[in-house]
Amino acid sequence: MPDHKSIDVLKKLHEFHSTFYSASVMSLVVVGNQSLYELEDLVGSLFSKIPSNSLKLPVWPVSPFSENDCGIKIDILSVSDVRDLYVCFPIPDTRPYYKTFVR
Protein backbone atom coordinates (compact mmCIF):
# COMPACT_ATOMS: atom_id res chain seq x y z
CA MET A 1 0.00 0.00 0.00
CA PRO A 2 1.32 3.47 -0.89
CA ASP A 3 0.65 4.96 2.56
CA HIS A 4 2.60 2.14 4.21
CA LYS A 5 5.58 2.99 2.00
CA SER A 6 5.23 6.76 2.55
CA ILE A 7 4.42 7.35 -1.12
CA ASP A 8 2.51 10.53 -1.91
CA VAL A 9 0.18 9.22 -4.63
CA LEU A 10 -1.06 12.66 -5.66
CA LYS A 11 2.50 13.91 -6.05
CA LYS A 12 3.40 10.83 -8.13
CA LEU A 13 0.34 11.38 -10.36
CA HIS A 14 1.36 15.00 -10.93
CA GLU A 15 4.89 13.89 -11.80
CA PHE A 16 3.52 11.32 -14.26
CA HIS A 17 1.21 13.93 -15.78
CA SER A 18 3.97 16.49 -16.32
CA THR A 19 6.32 13.85 -17.72
CA PHE A 20 4.01 11.96 -20.10
CA TYR A 21 0.75 13.90 -20.68
CA SER A 22 1.10 15.63 -24.04
CA ALA A 23 -0.83 15.54 -27.29
CA SER A 24 2.50 15.00 -29.06
CA VAL A 25 2.73 11.45 -27.67
CA MET A 26 -0.94 10.50 -27.90
CA SER A 27 -2.95 8.73 -30.56
CA LEU A 28 -6.69 8.70 -31.01
CA VAL A 29 -8.93 6.36 -32.96
CA VAL A 30 -12.51 7.38 -33.62
CA VAL A 31 -15.22 5.16 -35.04
CA GLY A 32 -18.73 6.37 -35.71
CA ASN A 33 -21.54 6.42 -38.20
CA GLN A 34 -21.29 10.20 -38.60
CA SER A 35 -19.64 11.79 -41.62
CA LEU A 36 -15.90 12.39 -41.54
CA TYR A 37 -16.55 16.13 -41.12
CA GLU A 38 -18.88 15.57 -38.17
CA LEU A 39 -16.37 13.25 -36.49
CA GLU A 40 -13.59 15.75 -37.10
CA ASP A 41 -15.63 18.54 -35.49
CA LEU A 42 -16.52 16.30 -32.55
CA VAL A 43 -12.91 15.28 -31.96
CA GLY A 44 -11.75 18.87 -32.28
CA SER A 45 -14.24 20.11 -29.72
CA LEU A 46 -13.46 17.33 -27.24
CA PHE A 47 -9.69 16.95 -27.55
CA SER A 48 -8.25 20.25 -28.82
CA LYS A 49 -7.58 21.45 -25.28
CA ILE A 50 -5.07 18.69 -24.59
CA PRO A 51 -1.74 20.51 -24.37
CA SER A 52 1.12 19.62 -26.65
CA ASN A 53 4.28 19.95 -24.62
CA SER A 54 6.45 18.68 -27.49
CA LEU A 55 7.38 15.65 -25.45
CA LYS A 56 9.15 12.77 -27.15
CA LEU A 57 7.56 9.33 -27.07
CA PRO A 58 9.24 7.45 -24.20
CA VAL A 59 11.38 4.46 -25.02
CA TRP A 60 12.09 1.69 -22.58
CA PRO A 61 15.07 -0.39 -23.75
CA VAL A 62 14.07 -3.34 -21.60
CA SER A 63 10.65 -4.71 -20.77
CA PRO A 64 9.15 -3.49 -17.50
CA PHE A 65 8.02 -7.08 -16.91
CA SER A 66 10.45 -9.66 -15.60
CA GLU A 67 9.89 -13.39 -15.99
CA ASN A 68 8.67 -13.41 -12.38
CA ASP A 69 5.95 -10.88 -13.28
CA CYS A 70 4.47 -13.03 -16.04
CA GLY A 71 2.26 -16.09 -15.72
CA ILE A 72 0.83 -15.10 -12.36
CA LYS A 73 -2.68 -16.07 -11.33
CA ILE A 74 -4.42 -13.69 -8.98
CA ASP A 75 -7.79 -14.48 -7.40
CA ILE A 76 -9.81 -11.40 -6.47
CA LEU A 77 -13.14 -11.16 -4.72
CA SER A 78 -15.13 -8.33 -6.32
CA VAL A 79 -16.75 -5.78 -4.02
CA SER A 80 -19.06 -4.57 -6.79
CA ASP A 81 -21.17 -6.15 -9.49
CA VAL A 82 -18.65 -5.33 -12.24
CA ARG A 83 -16.56 -8.06 -13.78
CA ASP A 84 -13.67 -7.03 -16.03
CA LEU A 85 -10.76 -9.06 -17.25
CA TYR A 86 -7.57 -7.41 -18.45
CA VAL A 87 -4.99 -9.59 -20.11
CA CYS A 88 -1.58 -8.19 -20.89
CA PHE A 89 0.79 -9.84 -23.34
CA PRO A 90 4.17 -8.16 -23.02
CA ILE A 91 5.78 -8.06 -26.47
CA PRO A 92 8.90 -6.32 -27.73
CA ASP A 93 8.52 -2.78 -29.04
CA THR A 94 7.42 -2.92 -32.69
CA ARG A 95 7.72 0.81 -33.47
CA PRO A 96 11.00 0.37 -35.39
CA TYR A 97 9.11 -1.89 -37.82
CA TYR A 98 6.10 0.40 -38.24
CA LYS A 99 6.56 1.00 -41.98
CA THR A 100 8.10 -2.38 -42.75
CA PHE A 101 6.39 -4.59 -45.26
CA VAL A 102 7.28 -8.27 -45.30
CA ARG A 103 5.92 -10.77 -47.81
Assess contact for 54 and 24: CB atoms under 8 A. Answer: yes
Q: What is the pLDDT of residue 6?
A: 82
Mean pLDDT (10-residue bins), the chain, 103 residues: 76 88 88 94 93 81 80 79 77 80 74
From its phi and psi, is residue 54 left (phi > 0), alpha (psi between -120 and 50) or beta? left
Q: What is the pLDDT of residue 91?
A: 79
> In the chain, count of helices (H) and strands (E)?
2, 0
Q: What is the pLDDT of residue 26?
A: 86
**Dist. CA 22–CA 51, nearest whole Å:** 6
Query: The whole model's pTM is what?
Result: 0.49
Q: What is the pLDDT of residue 98?
A: 79
Q: What is the pLDDT of residue 11?
A: 92
Q: What is the pLDDT of residue 3?
A: 65
Assess contact for 26 and 52: CB atoms under 8 A. Answer: no
